[in-house]
Amino acid sequence: MTEFLLLLLAHVLVDFYWQPTKWVTDKKEKKYKSKYLYFHVLLVIIVSYIALHQWKNPFPAVVLGIAHGVIDLVKISFDKKGPLTWFIADQTAHLVTIALTALILTGSISIGFEAVTTWLNTPKTLATLSGALLSLSPVSFLVGILTRPWREELSKLAPEADDNLASAGRWIGMSERLLIFVFVLVNQYSAIGFLIAAKSLLRYNDKSTEPGIPPAYISKKSEYVLVGTLMSYTCAIAVALAVQILSRKFK
């Protein structure tokens, strides 16, 4: 675990703090011809080597640095617009290589895979993962279906209204449900109240500044958001409580 944390610290420093924007831009433009790609790889090797402080064995740091460079090269070759998917894939690949390097260094790669497999196959883990995933997209679709009549009513009141960021509501809802799911699992119900209060404050002065928007639209929009929020929270709490019950029953 110590080796993994040391390499993770080195990765975070090199990838997010010690990589200037100039390097990133140049890599995207020139790809494998960019000298900064190789500077970055060299920095990964040096920092990883220092972090591990295994002075007589530079091989793990060198292999990790080369793997880091290959992952970066694949990302910048196929990632044209910088979507979230490629960022997650890139960082996941880095984390996997770091974990494998740490397991090989400690000579416990088989033990590590066995521990992960055992952990994944426990009822509590499966219930928690399933509940977390259920709280995200599936509940979004459910809340969307339940609130459709009010959404259509708002659309009729102000057809030209454009006061929402694209997909922002969906991402806000999923983030809130995930937080609530975690709060319930760790028995921090007071934190849910804080989340509700914080959202209420943010929407306290929510008014449309667009001309031609009727006051009824503003009032109904607030009610629509409140109903959707309460539905979303209720579903997240229900799923989390179900996970707790299943975890206790099938220990």
From 64, 90, 120, the end of a domain falls on: 120
| Nearest of 188, 177, 84 to residue 132 by alpha carbon | 177
Whether residues 64 and 162 share a domain: the answer is: no
Which H or E run includes 157? helix 148-157
Looking at the fold, whether 108 and 129 belong to one and the same domain comes out as no
Q: Which of 75, 92, 120 is the last residue of a domain?
A: 120
The whole-angstrom separation of Cα 55 and Cα 77 is: 34
Task: Tell me the mean pLDDT in the region 39-60.
Answer: 91
**End of a domain among 72, 95, 120?**
120
Judge if 165 and 92 occupy the same domain: no
- Kindly report the length of the chain: 251
Backbone angles phi, psi at 123, to 5 degrees: -55, -40
User: Are residue 33 and residue 116 in the same domain, yes or no?
Assistant: yes
> Do residues 167 and 244 both lie within one domain?
yes
Whether the CB-CB separation of 45 and 61 falls below 8 Å is answered with yes
Alpha-carbon separation of residue 233 from 18, 114, 178, 229, 245 (angstroms): 40, 36, 10, 6, 18
Residues 220 and 150 in one domain: yes
Same domain? 138 vs 74: no
* Residue 174: predicted pLDDT: 87
CB 184 within 8 A of CB 242: no
Whether residue 153 is found in the same domain as residue 186: yes
> Sorting pLDDT into bands at 50, 70 and 90, what band is 113?
low
> How far, in Å, CA of 42 to CA of 36, rounded?
10
How confident is the model over 182-236, as pLDDT tens digits? 999 998 888 888 888 877 766 555 555 555 666 677 677 777 788 888 898 999 9
DSSP assigned state of 187: T
| Domain region containing 231 | 123-249
d(CA 173, CA 8): 30
pLDDT band per the 50, 70, 90 thresholds, residue 85: confident
Asked if residue 92 and residue 10 are part of one domain, the reply reads yes
As a whole number of angstroms, the distance between CA 30 and CA 42 comes to: 18
Give pLDDT, residue 10: 92
Q: How confident is the model at residue 4 (pLDDT cuts 50, 70, 90)?
A: confident
pTM score, whole prediction: 0.65
- 108 and 153 both lie in a single domain: no
Residues 115 and 128 in one domain: no
Residue 14 has which token pair? Answer: 């090199």
> At residue 186, what is the residue type?
V
User: Count of domains in the chain?
Assistant: 2
**Are 108 and 134 contained in the same domain?**
no
